[in-house]
Each structure stands twice: as C-alpha cells, then as structure tokens.
Structure 1
C-alpha cells in the first residue's frame, strides 16, 4: 500500500514507474481525494474548536445570568455540521483507501522493461542439465509407473489438479520438506513456525492478496467470520507482526514454515494441467524476512542464495532470472525467479520466486520498528519459496531417472529417507 502524499509528490514519476508494469495511475483522482480528505479534516477541526469555544461561552454566560439561547442554537448547528462533515470525510477516506489498495508497488529501476518472461534478464546458470541416452519420461509417467504417485485416485477424490503420493513417494515428499527446513534453520538462522492455514480478510489484505486477488483464493468461514485458506505461508508469517513495533535490536527477523498452500489458479485453466507443476493444493517451505529498509537490498540477494542452497544440495540444474517490471507480482518491487531444469519439457521452469516488497506490505499491515531518532518507521519485508515440495519432486524425478525406470536420488536425502534408490516397481533400495 502506498502513502498518498508520497505518490502525489512523485507525480509524473509515479505515473511513469507504474506504467512500466502496465498500471495507469489516475493521479488527478488521487489528488482530488487527498485534497478533499485534507479539507474535511481541517474543516472538522475548525468546527470542533469553535464548538469547544461556544461551550465555554455557554457556561460563562449562564454563570453570569445572561441569555444563552442563541449560543445553544449555535452549538446545535455546529454539532450537526460536524456530524455531516465527519460522514463525508469517512466516505472520502474509504474511497481513498480503496483506491490505494488497488495500486501495485512501484517497480525497482533495476527491473528490466517488459511484461513477460521473455524480457527477464538471466543472472546465472548453475549445474549442467542431464543428458540421457534414452527418451526421458516426464514425472507423471515416472510416478505412475513406479506407483509412487497416483493422479487418477486424486481426481476421484477431489477433481483435477490434485495428487496422491504413496510409499516411497510420500516418504520423499516428507524428506524434501525436512531437508529444506534443516537448511534454513540450521545453516541460515531462520526460526521455524507452525501457523494457521486459515486467516482473516485483514490478514490477506496485509500482504496484498486482497482485495485484488480474491478470485484466486479459497474462501470459507466460521460462524460470522470470513476465512481464507492460505496461498502461501508468506501470509501468516508476515502478518505475525501486524500492528506491532519491532525493537531495532530484533531485526532482521528470519522466519520459515512448511505449510500446505491452496490456490484456485483462476485464469490458468488449460495450463500445466498434467502433473505437479500447477495444483490447487501443494506444500511448500517458505522464507520470510522482516528487516530495516536500509539493509533490504542486501537481504534480497542473501535470500536468493538461501533458496539456491536447496537446489544445490539436491544437485539439480537451475538458473536465476530477474523479472521484468510488468511481470513482477502486485506487491513486489523486485523479484528474482529461480527456474529448475525439467528434462521432459527441455526447458527451465519456475520453482522459486524471491521478492523485495520495500515498505509496501509493512504499510498495509502496519509493521514498524524505530529509527535512530527513536520514532516509529516502517520496516521492509521480503519472502521467497525455499522450496515447493511438488515442483521439486517433479524436477527430481525427471533429472534422476534411469533408463530402466528406476530413480537414483541425491546422497543428501539418504539420511532422511534411509534409501538411495527407488526401483522401477516403486520399492525403496539402499
């Protein structure tokens, strides 16, 4: 969320920067609403001051035995005027708030121009995509042939875009999540959290999912409360500190959680309908950092490295790209995508997004710290996938497949699994 005054002060520069991401800022409407709000506040304050003065005159005149009828009439007029102005002011403030909630974050100047992945800048490639002496299978065929994935029964249970894992497949999912959590907590100092999977409208608004993306969410309720299934642990982790002032000595905060994630995938039907790439329910290990804005740029680069550490541990080939301004998420000012190699598609596919939000989310959720002068100031927030279990599993199966249909897994998973190989019939082997 933006400070209206800051956008108005930027003026044409704000219009230009938002245009880079395909958003047209109605600056005149913003200026009009802000002006009406300020005038309403001034008028209400002036009338309250006069009302207070008239009340004092009523008391003084009454003590002196004078006629207070005209003064009381003026007091009633002022009360009515204040009530009307406050009602108008409330309407204007709500209209201004609704407008500000729909304005995306200003993209960072370092983000390239463009509105799709074709305009992204490749930062680096790590690892060599495997070369097979046979036609590689995709993860769906591998999972079904070995029996560790069952998409047909998942469809029977819940419809399309769901999966069932079993046996070595279920163990592999659990091992991946535990490995990722160990990397983040033991190596990188994140504090693991268990968080609710259902959150309020206010919580969803704090991180920017609402009001713009309501159609992408699964909504339910309890009694008279609207509740939403989380699309990512970013939502509860970031909002843990909503409406709080965090002592500077506690920053940076590094938080992680392994949760299920629920997404309606509105507007994406027909895309990636096969397999684990795009599902309504999946699990993911998330990283969130809450930091002083002055250190946020460096923290972003560090967090990208933390996501990469998971892929390096598994020996998976991947690349890092910097997204174009028009392809960056609503709340982010700068995003790096990490894309893992998918042999069956002969291309890299997104497995993690690591984003810098500046103070955008902090303003919406009212998360602050104190500056050197002791006064409250907004923090900066960052988040990244570290990593999604399903997409990692898909890449792992495809990059580790053997000609005989078996799967030879990375050595790093053996302590978590107790086996290194999944035979063609799905049986785990040492």
Structure 2
C-alpha cells in the first residue's frame, strides 16, 4: 500500500516503478482522485463550520425574539444538514475508490532489481555445490517414493483428490526430521524465535500481507469466512499489526513450521505428477521485522539462513535475483533459491526470500518508536522459506538415491531418524 503524499511528491518515480513492473502510469489518476477527495473534504468542513455558526446565530435570534431570522436560519441549517450528509457519503465513496485503486498496485522494485518480463530475465547471484554424477539414470522423487512403497498418491486421490499425497513410515519420519532440523538450526544458531501460529486467519490479516484482495482465488476459504494460510508469513507478519514497537525490540526474527494450503488456481497442467506443487504442504517460514536502515542487510542475512539449510544437507543449489516481472506482489527485491533435482535434471525453486520495505506495514499499520525520539515510523518486513519441507524431501530423495532403489539419509538428519541411515522398501503396511 502506498502513501498518497509520497505519490504526490514522487509521481515520476512512482510511474517509472510501475513501468518496470509492466504496468501503465497511474500517478496522475490517483492524484486527481485525491484532489477530488480533498475538495470534497474542504466543502464538507466549510458546511460543518457554517452549520455550527448558524446554530449559534439561531440562539441569539431566539433571544432577540427575531422569529423571521430564526426561521431563515433553521431552513439554512436543514439544508446544510442534507449537504453534510451527502458530503460525508461522497467522501466515503472517494476514500473507498482511492483505497481500492491503491490496494491492487504491487510494490515498486528497488533500483538493483533486473528489468524483465519473466523468469528469463532473472540473474544468478551464486551457485553452491556440484551436482552428483550418477552411474545410473537418476529417478524422479515420485518414482523413488512409490517404489519404496512409502509415497501413495492413489490413496490421497481417493481421500482428497489431485495434488495431495500420503507419506508413510520412514518417509513420513524423514519429512518430520527435515522440519525439526530446520527449526533447530534457525532457532539454535540464527536467533529466530519459534512460533506456533493460527492456520486460519481473518480478511484483514491476509489483506495486511497483500494476499487480499488481489489473490483471493489462490487461497482456500472456509464457510465461516476464515482463510487457510498459504504460508505462515501471514500469521507471523501480522503479529505486529496495529501496534507500535520500541526500536530496541528490533530486529524481530520469527520462524514457524506449519501446514500451508494453496488452490494452485493458475497451475493447470504444471507439475501434475509428484509433490512439487500441492494443495497442502508444510514449510518452515522465516519472517523479520526491522527498521528501514537495516532491511537490506537483513534481507541478505535471511537469505543466507535459508541457504545454510541446503549447505548442511549437502544439496547443490543456486540463488537467483528475480527480475521485475517475476517477483511477488509485495516484494521490493526477491532472491529465489533453487535446489538441484537430478531426476528432473533441473534447478527448482525451494525458497523465495523477499524484502517488502514498508509496503505490508502500511496495510497493517505496524510501526516502531525511534529510540532517539520522534513520531512512530512504519517498520520494514521481510519473509522467506527456510525451507519448503516437502520440496526439501524431494531434493533429498533425488540427490541421495542409490542404484538399488534405497535412499541414504544425509548426516545432518540422522540424529532425527532414530538411528536409521538408509530408507529401504517397506515390507508391509497400509
């Protein structure tokens, strides 16, 4: 959400930012709407002032027993009452029109974000690790999981339909191990506070992070007007909504391991096999709340925390700086971390780490009080996956698969696997 005053003072920069996003200029239209609202507000204030003055004059006229003047003034007050009611209604409509215009405009990209229409213009920031050379044809994760008898898409289809999976036995434990490992790393070494947040949120929470109103079709909504979270970013970031935080409390670093729910409305025909793109998946989320002068450094730090998970697991990856046409609605700048999947012979996204500036904070009215005094200032918010647990499971299966169909367990996960070092085919079970 943008500040109208900022748009007035920086109209050219605002339109240039929209142009880089592939959008038409809107500053003039927004300023004209605001001029109309201001004129309406001025007329309303004038009418209210005149009504107050006329009411006092009525009292004086009554005291003077000037019935004619009283009658004229009472007629004027009645007319002013109608004018004020209409003015208040007009102001509400103009306020709503401005809000509805602003709330669907994406955040503006930072100067160092590459221009481009889509992912083809993304820029590789770094590449870590060397893909393993196999002496056999590597399989995709769903081939491995199904052959082990521990990944069941058919059962999930009967229960819930497409884009769901049932994990069993050692694979279910492996997913739990991955999530626990990530939480322990982020809380134990990187200073994040673990949170167990709500999975159901109200409209204003989803609005605060920019998921509503523009992306309602990507979410699942309950029959009693809650939204299932598509990411714990919503719950974690909204912990500071409608509040003023002392600067000494910042940066605030939060993490949560939660189920996530997405309708995948625009994903028809994409990744229909396997676990890459599902309606329900789990993710460890990282959220930072900080001051404007620290947000860029915090972005680099948050991204490095997510990368460290892959380093500890021995999974090759690359980090991409997204172009203006590929980054998310609320983002000023985004790094995508892509893990190597030998079964697909490709790098695939496993985390997006974004700095949002004060874009979300304005929607949530989240501010901090500077330690040196002065009026409260909007915080800056950041978020990223640290990591998507299901996709990490996929990466482990494909990178640690062995010729006999078994899967070696990475050293970092073995303390969570009750002594298991290799996942073998299940002998029996559901």
Q: What TM-score, normalized to structure 2? A: 0.96
Structure 1 residue aligned with 2:158: 156
Structure 2 residue aligned with 1:195: 197
Q: Which secondary structure state, in structure 2, belongs to the residue aligned with residue 329 of structure 1?
A: coil
- What is the CA distance between 1:419 and its match in structure 2? 2.8
Mapped to 2, the partners of 1:121 and 1:95 lie a distance apart of: 38
Structure 2 residue aligned with 1:119: 121
Structure 1 residue aligned with 2:384: 384
How do 1:283-298 residues align onto structure 2 when only pairs under 5 Å count? 283-298=282-297
Structure 2 residue aligned with 1:312: 311
- What is the CA distance between 1:425 and its match in structure 2? 1.5
Mapped to 2, the partners of 1:154 and 1:25 lie a distance apart of: 47
How do 1:232-243 residues align onto structure 2 when only pairs under 5 Å count? 232-243=231-242
Structure 1 residue aligned with 2:278: 279
Mapped to 2, the partners of 1:268 and 1:8 lie a distance apart of: 38
Mapped to 1, the partners of 2:289 and 2:65 lie a distance apart of: 64
Gaps of 5+ in 1: none
- What is the CA distance between 1:374 and its match in structure 2? 2.7
- What is the CA distance between 1:149 and its match in structure 2? 1.1
Mapped to 1, the partners of 2:420 and 2:413 lie a distance apart of: 8
State whether residues 125 and 318 of structure 1, in contact with CA within 8 Å, keep that contact through their aligned partners in structure 2: yes
Task: Give CA-to-partner distance per residue, 1:289-316, whole Å, 9 cap, x none.
Answer: 1111111010000000110111111111
- What is the CA distance between 1:413 and its match in structure 2? 0.8
Task: Give CA-to-partner distance per residue, 1:220-253, whole Å, 9 cap, x none.
Answer: 132xxx1111100001111121111111111111
Task: Give CA-to-partner distance per residue, 1:149-198, whole Å, 9 cap, x none.
Answer: 11111111111111110100110111111111111111111111111111
How do 1:47-66 residues align onto structure 2 when only pairs under 5 Å count? 47-66=47-66
How do 1:48-87 residues align onto structure 2 when only pairs under 5 Å count? 48-67=48-67, 68-87=70-89
Q: Which secondary structure state, in structure 2, belongs to the residue aligned with residue 194 of structure 1?
A: coil
Mapped to 2, the partners of 1:421 and 1:401 lie a distance apart of: 12
Q: State which drifts further: 204-213 or 145-154.
A: 145-154
Mapped to 2, the partners of 1:191 and 1:41 lie a distance apart of: 46
- What is the CA distance between 1:25 and its match in structure 2? 3.1
- What is the CA distance between 1:423 and its match in structure 2? 4.0
Task: Give CA-to-partner distance per residue, 1:335-390, whole Å, 9 cap, x none.
Answer: 00000000011111100000000000000111111234330211100000011111
Structure 1 residue aligned with 2:396: 396
Structure 2 residue aligned with 1:370: 369
- What is the CA distance between 1:58 and its match in structure 2? 2.0
How do 1:348-367 residues align onto structure 2 when only pairs under 5 Å count? 348-367=347-366
State whether residues 145 and 424 of structure 1, in contact with CA within 8 Å, keep that contact through their aligned partners in structure 2: no
Mapped to 2, the partners of 1:423 and 1:16 lie a distance apart of: 54
Mapped to 2, the partners of 1:421 and 1:49 lie a distance apart of: 80
Q: Which secondary structure state, in structure 2, belongs to the residue aligned with residue 240 of structure 1?
A: helix
Q: Which secondary structure state, in structure 2, belongs to the residue aligned with residue 255 of structure 1?
A: strand
Gaps of 5+ in 2: none
Mapped to 1, the partners of 2:424 and 2:192 lie a distance apart of: 38
Task: Give CA-to-partner distance per residue, 1:19-60, whole Å, 9 cap, x none.
Answer: 111122333321221111111111111211222222222223
Q: State which drifts further: 29-38 or 89-98.
A: 29-38
Structure 1 residue aligned with 2:262: 263
Mapped to 1, the partners of 2:246 and 2:188 lie a distance apart of: 24
How do 1:78-157 residues align onto structure 2 when only pairs under 5 Å count? 78-157=80-159
Structure 2 residue aligned with 1:9: 9
Runs of 4+ in 1 over 4 A off after TM superposition: none
Structure 2 residue aligned with 1:215: 217
How do 1:168-179 residues align onto structure 2 when only pairs under 5 Å count? 168-179=170-181
State whether residues 108 and 325 of structure 1, in contact with CA within 8 Å, keep that contact through their aligned partners in structure 2: no
State whether residues 116 and 326 of structure 1, in contact with CA within 8 Å, keep that contact through their aligned partners in structure 2: yes
State whether residues 136 and 344 of structure 1, in contact with CA within 8 Å, keep that contact through their aligned partners in structure 2: yes
Mapped to 2, the partners of 1:107 and 1:152 lie a distance apart of: 43
Q: What TM-score, normalized to structure 1? A: 0.96
Mapped to 2, the partners of 1:170 and 1:102 lie a distance apart of: 40
State whether residues 122 and 323 of structure 2, in contact with CA within 8 Å, keep that contact through their aligned partners in structure 1: yes
State whether residues 168 and 422 of structure 1, in contact with CA within 8 Å, keep that contact through their aligned partners in structure 2: no
State whether residues 409 and 423 of structure 2, in contact with CA within 8 Å, keep that contact through their aligned partners in structure 1: no
